[in-house]
Structures are given as C-alpha cells and as structure tokens.
C-alpha cells in the first residue's frame, strides 16, 4: 500500500489538504468551519438523509456548481466549497421549515430556525402528537449498527414513515440500553425509568430493572446486564452493583477487584 493520497480542497476560501475521500464535512471541521447537521454522528457512517449539511460545490474546472450533502460528499482534488452561500442558506432555511412543520417544539430546530430566519408556520403542520421525531434514523442506526440489537427499524415510506419495533409488535430485542434516547437530536423518544421497570411505550418496551446490591437503587435493565456479561469477562458480583458503587468498591486486592 502506498501513501495516502492527499487532495487540496478550498472551503470558504481556505485551502486544506486532506486524504482523498475525506468527507467535506470533516474537512470543514478541520478548518474550524461549522456546518449544521441532524442525522450525522461521529460514531456512525454518514447517510446524508436530513440534508441540512448541504453545501455548494464547484469542480476543479470551475464549470460545474451543484448542491450536495457535505456529510457524504468525498473530497477530491480541486473542489471548491461554499458552506454559507445564499443558495445554501436558502435550502437550509427551507429544510428547517419543513422539519419544523412536524416537530415544532424541537429545541435544536428552534435554535436553527432563529439562526437561519426560518418560519415556524410556513408549511402545513403535520400532527405527530407529542413526538418531535424528524426521521433522522440515528436511533435505528445506533440500535442496529452499534448495539446490534435490531430492536427498531423504519416502516412505511414517504410522510408515513416512522420508527417502530419490528412489525409493530413488542419484541424481545430491546435490551433497554437507552442509546437511542441519548443519540436522538430532538428528544423524541420518551421513556420511563421506574424502580421495577424501564418502559418505552411507543415500541412496547417493558423491561425489568436490576437493583444495585450495595445502594439498592435500580441502575440498569436485567437484560442489558445479561448482554454485557456475555461480552465482558468480569467477576459475577461486579455485575450486581451500579457503576458508582462498583467504582468505590473497585480496589485491587479486594474481592471486588475486576481482575479474575
């Protein structure tokens, strides 16, 4: 294998050399240029679906200019990119307005709306009840590609598209890891953590909580702990404690030492 090929791209009049194929979003980030995103997450491959990160790209000949999503567009020699041109700003504004029509209370959208002068009421409101889901699918991708649980997926298409448990039946795939909740940019996934159980009503999730043997507080779902147990080789009694208690008990030489 030879050395990585470097290509020169110009972003907002600043030149930078990056390995060929680096996404324009990453290249911009290296220059400290902020491009807004909703469906992008460092830990996941980009999928270019929210389209908020669109930029204006001109090829090296200067003849062709087009709009594309920077999170997926690979850098190649001589590309010139504008991240804030009038047309980019216009498209972003429209995209924000479109998303606001179905998630009018999402904080992240309201902040973006203020920045881009987007109207909250320009388009027909789409009633999604309490949900602020904007179908970025970060929850689905995290569950499938990182956690490996495949507890949720998208169903139907177009405006009817939604995130559901497989076949809309409460399945036993969900381990209650809550990664989906943390990764959601609009806080659309509503859950309840009680003493006995963990619930996500929309997907029919209802899992038993495990209680810490030391402080007696519920700290994780039982199935989540089972899954971790099968993946990480730790002494059994360590799994019975919440992270805080485990840390304080975790001293080499005690019976709670993680080394078996």
Partner 1 sequence: MNKEILDGLKQEGLKAIYPKGTKISVQMGTCGRASGADEIYRMLEKELKDSSIILKKTGCLGLCEREPMLNVFIPGQNPVVYVDLKPKIVAELLPFWKKGETPEKNSLMQLNGKEFQTNKKGLKNAPGIKKYNEIPFYKNQQKIVLGNCGFIDPDNIAEYVARGGFSVLYDILTNKKPEDVIDTVDSSGLRGRGGGGFPAGKKWRTCRNVPAKTRYVICNADEGDPGAYMDRTIIEGDPFRVLEGMIIGAYAVGSSNGYIYVRAEYPQAVETLKRSINILRENSLLGKHIFGSDFSFDIQINKGGGAFVCGESTALMASIEGKVGEPRTKHIHTVVSGLHDCPTVLNNVETWGNVPAIFSMGVNNYTKMGTKGSKGTKVFSVVGNVMNNGLVEVPMGMSLNEIVNDVAGGVPEGKKLKAVQTGGPSGGCIPVALMDTPVDFDELTKLGSMMGSGGLIVMDENSCMVEVARYFLSFLVEESCGKCTPCREGNYQLLKILERLTKGEARSDDMETLEELCHTIQNASLCALGKSAPSPVLSTIKYFRKEYEEHIHDKKCNAGVCKALFEYEISTENCTGCKLCLKNCPYEAITGKKDEVHIIHKDKCTKCGICFDVCTFDAVMKV
Binding site for partner 1 (CB under 8 A): 47-52, 54, 66-67, 69, 72-74, 87, 90-91, 94-95, 98-99, 101-102, 122-124, 126, 134-135, 137, 153-154, 156-161
Q: How many CB atoms lie within 10 A of CB 36?
A: 18
State the nearest-atom distance from the C-beta of 202 to partner 1, in Å: 18
CB-nearer residue toward partner 1: 101 or 197: 101
Distance CA 81, CA 87 (A): 13
CA distances, 161 to each of 48, 155, 157 (Å) = 17, 6, 4
* 8 Å CB contact between 202 and 189: yes
| Ramachandran sector of residue 233 (left: φ over 0; alpha: ψ -120 to 50; beta: rest) | beta
Nearer to partner 1, 63 or 157 (CB): 157
Q: Least distance in Å: CB of 85 to partner 1? A: 12
Residue closer to partner 1 (CB basis): 130 or 156: 156
| Interacting residues of 230 by C-beta distance below 8 A, sequence separation 6+ | none
CB of 115 to partner 1, least distance (A): 17
Is 23 or 221 the residue whose CB approaches partner 1 more closely?
23
* HSE-up (13 A, CA, CB side) for residue 127: 1
Shortest gap between Cβ of 95 and partner 1 (angstroms)? 5
> Closest CB to partner 1 among 47 and 197?
47
Give the separation between CA 257 and CA 260, rounded to whole angstroms.
8
Compare residues 19 and 153 and give the one whose CB is closer to partner 1.
153
Distances from the Cα of 226 to the Cαs of 39, 92, 109, 229, 247, in angstroms?
Answer: 30, 44, 38, 5, 20
Q: Provide, rounded to whole angstroms, the least separation between the CB of residue 162 and partner 1.
A: 9
Q: Which helix (H) or strand (E) holds 19?
A: strand 14-19
Smallest separation (angstroms) from partner 1 to the CB of 5: 16
């Amino acid at each position: 294998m030879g050395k990585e090929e470097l290509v020169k791209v110009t972003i907002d009049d600043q030149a930078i050399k990056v390995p060929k194929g680096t996404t324009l979003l990453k290249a911009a980030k290296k220059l400290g240029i902020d491009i807004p995103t909703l469906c992008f997450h460092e830990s996941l491959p980009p999928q270019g679906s929210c389209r908020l990160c669109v930029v204006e790209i001109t090829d090296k000949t200067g003849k062709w200019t087009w709009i594309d999503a920077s999170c997926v567009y690979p850098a190649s020699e001589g590309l010139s990119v504008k991240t804030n041109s009038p047309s980019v700003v216009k498209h972003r504004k429209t995209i924000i307005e479109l998303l606001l029509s179905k998630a009018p209370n999402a904080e992240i959208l309201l902040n973006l709306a203020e920045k881009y002068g987007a109207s909250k009421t320009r388009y027909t409101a789409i009633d999604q009840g309490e949900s602020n889901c904007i179908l970025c699918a970060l929850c689905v991708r995290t569950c499938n590609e990182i956690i490996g649980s495949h507890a949720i997926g998208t169903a139907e298409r177009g405006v009817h598209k939604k995130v559901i448990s497989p076949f809309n039946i409460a399945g036993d795939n969900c381990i209650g890891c809550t990664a989906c909740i943390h990764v959601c940019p609009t806080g659309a996934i509503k859950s309840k953590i009680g003493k006995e159980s963990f619930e996500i009503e929309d997907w029919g999730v209802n899992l038993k909580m495990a209680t810490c043997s030391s402080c007696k507080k519920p700290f994780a779902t039982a199935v989540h702990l089972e899954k971790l147990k099968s993946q990480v080789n730790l002494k059994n009694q360590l799994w019975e404690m919440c992270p805080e208690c485990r840390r304080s008990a975790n001293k080499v030489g005690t019976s709670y030492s993680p080394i078996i």
